[in-house]
């Protein structure tokens, strides 16, 4: 294939397919090890997320996985190698993971995690970095790092943001396994459904997303990242006023307002 990010080879640790609507599905593809990630998978995810972010034809991204589990966290062989690394090597390794998570978290497209089976350790970080997450009612979750004498450091900014400081104080230190229902209650999941309903629920979310202006969707996501936890002072009021003014006079803003006033569908609308 001409596009290096589009792949559906069964030998790839991560596959990526983009449908005619512009919906990209990025799939963890190591079912034999429950999609545990290592340095190779992390590098591939970083590459794919970066390219999807720059692809103007992509409207949304689904993060999925093959097999029984979404992701079991870190790969055993990778952990064995890390145990022999120097501090500098471990720091470089951790920075690569942190970069991948940041790239996913700030991807300028709406992202949806499709979660089945187990999601342990770093997998919780992947889910937390997505804008939305739909999980099977049978899914199980755990921030299991302390069981190994480690800490969930690189994923912590995103997990704490998703589930809050109070819940993090519990699950970071107990490493207990919690249910999909509990994950929904504390904010890690947007929806908890039967496994048979995973795809239809995600399709419903996509139906709503694809009716909206793609540049506005991207700008709205960036707005959240920039405004969250800031005091609504004069500087922030000026920033938000400037952004809505810029959006109103943009090509997409003019098309959207014109379509509304003329009672027609805007040119980006996909039904």
* Residue ranges per structural domain of the chain: 14-209, 214-261
- Give the model's pLDDT for residue 140: 97
Determine what percent of the chain is predicted with pLDDT higher than 70: 96
- Give the model's pLDDT for residue 5: 63
- Give the model's pLDDT for residue 1: 39
- Give the model's pLDDT for residue 142: 97
| Residue 12 tokens, joined | 């790839």
- Give the model's pLDDT for residue 80: 84
Is residue 167's pLDDT more than 80? Answer: yes
- Cα(84)–Cα(189) distance, integer angstroms: 36
Give the architecture (CATH level 2) of 14-209.
Answer: Alpha-Beta Complex (3.90)
How many CA within 13 A on the CB side of residue 207? Answer: 7
Kindly indicate the confidence band of residue 10, based on its pLDDT and cuts at 50, 70 and 90. low
Is residue 81's pLDDT more than 70? Answer: yes
Kindly indicate the confidence band of residue 56, based on its pLDDT and cuts at 50, 70 and 90. very high
15-45 confidence digits (pLDDT tens): 999 999 999 999 999 999 999 999 999 999 9
- Give the model's pLDDT for residue 3: 60
- Give the model's pLDDT for residue 116: 96
Mean per-residue pLDDT, 259-264: 93
| Residue 65 tokens, joined | 């996985």
Is residue 4's pLDDT more than 70? Answer: no
- Give the model's pLDDT for residue 250: 93
pTM beyond cutoff 0.95: no
206-249 confidence digits (pLDDT tens): 999 999 999 999 999 999 999 998 899 999 999 999 999 999 99
Contacts of 66-69 spanning 24+ positions with Cβ under 8 A: 66/27, 66/28, 66/29, 66/30, 66/31, 66/35, 67/31, 67/32, 67/34, 67/35, 67/117, 68/31, 68/34, 68/116, 68/117, 68/118, 69/31, 69/34, 69/35, 69/116, 69/117, 69/118, 69/119
- Give the model's pLDDT for residue 121: 94
Is residue 6's pLDDT more than 70? Answer: no
């Amino acid at each position: 294939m001409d596009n290096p990010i589009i792949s559906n080879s069964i030998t790839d640790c991560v596959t990526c397919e983009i449908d005619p609507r512009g919906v990209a599905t990025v799939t963890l593809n190591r079912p034999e090890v429950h999609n545990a990630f290592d340095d190779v998978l992390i590098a591939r995810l970083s590459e794919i997320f970066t390219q999807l972010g720059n692809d103007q034809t992509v409207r949304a991204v689904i993060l999925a996985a093959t097999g029984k589990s979404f992701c079991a966290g870190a790969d055993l062989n990778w952990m064995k190698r890390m145990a022999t690394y120097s501090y500098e090597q471990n720091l470089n390794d951790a920075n690569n993971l942190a970069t991948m998570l940041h790239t996913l978290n700030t991807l300028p497209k709406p992202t949806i995690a499709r979660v089945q089976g187990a999601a342990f350790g770093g997998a919780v970080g992947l889910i937390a970095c997505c804008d939305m997450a739909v999980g099977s009612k049978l899914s199980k979750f755990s921030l299991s790092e302390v069981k190994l004498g480690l800490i969930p450091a690189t994923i912590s900014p995103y997990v704490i943001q998703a589930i809050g400081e109070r819940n993090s104080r519990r699950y970071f230190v107990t490493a207990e396994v919690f249910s999909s229902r509990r994950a929904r209650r504390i904010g890690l999941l947007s929806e908890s459904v039967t496994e048979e309903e995973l795809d239809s629920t995600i399709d419903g979310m996509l139906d709503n997303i694809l009716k909206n202006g793609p540049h506005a969707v991207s700008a709205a996501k960036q707005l959240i990242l920039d405004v969250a936890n800031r005091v609504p002072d004069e500087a922030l009021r000026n920033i938000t006023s400037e952004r809505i003014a810029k959006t109103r006079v943009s090509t997409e803003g003019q098309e959207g307002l014109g379509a509304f006033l003329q009672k027609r569908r805007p040119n980006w609308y996909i039904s």
